[in-house]
Chain A
């Protein structure tokens, strides 16, 4: 068990942990859940068929673990659709949006981007993380997300456009509040 862990840790831990932090937007939760990921991986390592790459498999599991966690969170805050905008409310309730120190230390562009990502739909954000922060190919991203490659391309294109709109809007708001317009 230890040798499997050691190898996975050396090869993927940094990337895996970062994926969970950006997905969950909470470092403490990511620290907890990364354990769950390793437990699942170690327990099912024998069943890994090699149909996909090990990294793809690992990230699929990480994604499922994070989704399960978020579902549980949502269940605790379950409410009825129709009385308010559920997407908006979920974003307010579930994600604490604590900026990781590493982001806080960066320039404004990164903070704006982090904030803009938070406003994207959950699975759209996941795809952007996989594609651009973790460098997975379209094919690998499709395997992790369980989507077709065509869908990955469509959602990727759409999300980049959404990000641009959000970033432009926040810039306009900032300019208005600073009286620079």
Chain B
């Protein structure tokens, strides 16, 4: 067999010499098509016959917006503020609806919503959501925000799914009753979470007829009993391992024991035989906008084993919120705003570039929660955001330290 004729230099040179590919459409032809499509969109948007109806609808809508009742229903509650915490428990506690907060209409409007840019009520609780009021909707995108404080009678069950490209694992949290044993709480979470609706995928871990889970609380072990041959393909295997590993980590287990139909060990097609593995904590946070229009925080490494950054600062700076469906052409990235990230024993302070004006919209809520989740991964307890002109983003009061996220993407009451 001869020597390889490919080396890095030749690969790069071949790529550089790749032939140009000409568009067969003529410039005028292309412009005519574009113009036609732009015009047709305009026509579709504003058909003359619906203008009077539209005008009436606008009047009603504006009237509704300025109604104090509506304002009360759409106000955000500040999880970090004393008022919020004292009045009705944590605002992040499901069941503590925003309307419980007695604020004046002026106070009710998030700072950016009263701006000249007309961005009022960009974020509103999703009326039809199963997890009201924790889901926010905008431009047909739903964001299930996290909680920074868990109600005393609840326990967090964070179950991991995969994204539709099987590149990363997505945590989805459910708040189960505290007295439920962990395994029962996990099974309840499996039942309550609808991955199809969120736009994420199950692995065989979630299929009760293929995988049975139990535990040994004394040894802090999650026991996963798998039917032979149900895990196939390198991707399927990796995704299975990641979803089990991170789910187990969040439930407080330290080891995973594998069994095959009750017998010790499982012979994974690629990883080989495994009896027991030590659980690893997820590092790295990114975001995902699913095909179903759900914006989710994603944790852990990606399919290629990479994460965006390895330090807290790198991860925070490289978080990207896909805003393609939110009317923004470019993704929102905290790095645009961040001047520096400082750490002390318990808290992370994120100093923004002077004059940064975060918006009160779901992508910025997601951005802040991604920071809170990252800080939590690194063992910090609070995040303080300094230097923002905007003082409230969603439920977060930026004037005060915000507790790290205890559960991301919460979908339960």
**Which residues of A does B touch, CB under 8 Å?**
1-2, 5-6, 9, 13-14, 17-18, 21-22, 27, 30-31, 34-35, 38-40, 42-44, 47, 51, 57, 60-61, 64, 67-68, 71-72, 74-75, 78, 80-88, 90, 100, 102-103, 105-106, 109-110, 113-114, 121-122, 124, 128, 132-133, 135, 146-148, 150-151, 154-155, 158, 160, 163-164, 167-168, 171-172, 175, 181
Q: Does B303 make an interface contact (CB < 8 A)?
A: yes
Q: Please give, as numbers and ranges, the residues of chain B lying within 8 Å of A2 by CB-CB distance.
A: 31, 35
Q: Is A181 in contact with B21, judged by CB distance below 8 angstroms?
A: no
**B side interface size, CB within 8 A:** 63
Indicate whether B19 reaches chain A with its CB closer than 8 angstroms. yes
Q: In the complex the two chains form, what is the Cα distance from A13 to B11 in whole Å?
A: 26
User: Does the CB pair B165–A74 fall under 8 Å?
Assistant: yes
- CB pair A83–B31 under 8 Å, yes or no, is no
Check: B184 CB closer than 8 A to any chain A CB: no
Whole-angstrom distance from the CB of B359 to the nearest CB of chain A? 14
The contact of A167 among B6, B240, B317, by CB within 8 Å, is: B6
> In the complex, are the beta carbons of A168 and B309 less than 8 A apart?
no
B164 interface residue per 8 A CB criterion: yes
B14 within 8 A of A: yes
Q: Which of B120-128, B134-142, B200-208 lines the interface with chain A?
A: B200-208
Other A-B pairs, 5, CB within 8 Å; known A44-B329, A86-B165:
A14-B23, A43-B38, A110-B17, A167-B11, A168-B6
- When A38-B34, A146-B331 are in contact, do A82 and B232 touch as well, CB less than 8 Å? yes
> A71 to B306, Cβ gap below 8 A?
no
Contact call A35/B19, Cβ cutoff below 8 A:
no
In the complex the two chains form, is A164's CB within 8 Å of B304's CB?
no
Whether A64 contacts B1 by the Cβ 8 Å rule is: no
Q: Which residues of A contact B8 (CB under 8 A)?
A: 160, 164
Residues of A near B15 (CB, < 8 A) are: 113, 128, 132-133
Chain B, interface SS category? loop
Q: A113-B11, A160-B11 known; A9 and B27 CB under 8 Å?
A: yes
Taken residue by residue from 304 to 316, chain B's Cβ proximity to chain A (1 for < 8 Å, 0 otherwise) reads as 1010110000100
Residue pair B162, A81 in contact (C-beta under 8 Å): yes
Question: Chain A residues with Cβ under 8 A from B317's Cβ?
Answer: 148
B46 at the interface (CB under 8 A from A): no
CB contacts (< 8 Å) of A31 on chain B: these are: 23-25
Min Cβ gap A62→B in Å is 11
Docked-complex contact A84 and B19, CB < 8 angstroms: no
Contact A154–B236 (Cβ < 8 Å): no
State whether A84 touches B233 (Cβ < 8 A): yes
Chain B 193-230, CB-CB to A under 8 Å as 1, else 0, gives: 00000000111100000000000000000000000001
Contact check: which of B4, B21, B233, B235 meets A164 at CB < 8 Å?
B4
A-B contact pairs, 28 of them (CB 8 A): A2-B35, A9-B27, A13-B23, A14-B23, A22-B21, A27-B24, A30-B23, A31-B24, A61-B329, A75-B291, A78-B164, A82-B202, A82-B230, A82-B240, A84-B233, A88-B233, A103-B19, A106-B19, A110-B19, A122-B165, A128-B15, A146-B320, A146-B333, A148-B317, A150-B314, A151-B306, A164-B8, A171-B5
Q: Is the CB of B21 within 8 A of A21?
A: yes
B307 to chain A, nearest CB (A): 9
Q: B6 near A164 (CB under 8 angstroms)?
A: yes
Residue of A nearest to B318 (CB): A148
| Distance, CA A78 to CA B303, complexed state (A) | 18
Residues of chain A with a CB closer than 8 A to B67's CB = none
List chain A residues, Cβ under 8 A from B7.
Answer: 164
Task: Give min CB distance, A165 to chain B, whole Å.
Answer: 9
With contacts A82-B231, A163-B11 taken as known, whether A14 is within 8 angstroms of B30 at the C-beta atoms is no
Q: Are A60 and B318 in contact (CB under 8 A)?
A: no
A35 pairs with B37, CB closer than 8 A: yes
> Would you give the shortest CB distance from A116 to chain B, in whole angstroms?
9
Q: How far is the CA of A109 from the CA of B11 in the complex (A)?
A: 9
Which residues of chain A come closer than 8 Å to B21, judged between CB atoms?
Answer: 17-18, 21-22, 27, 100, 102
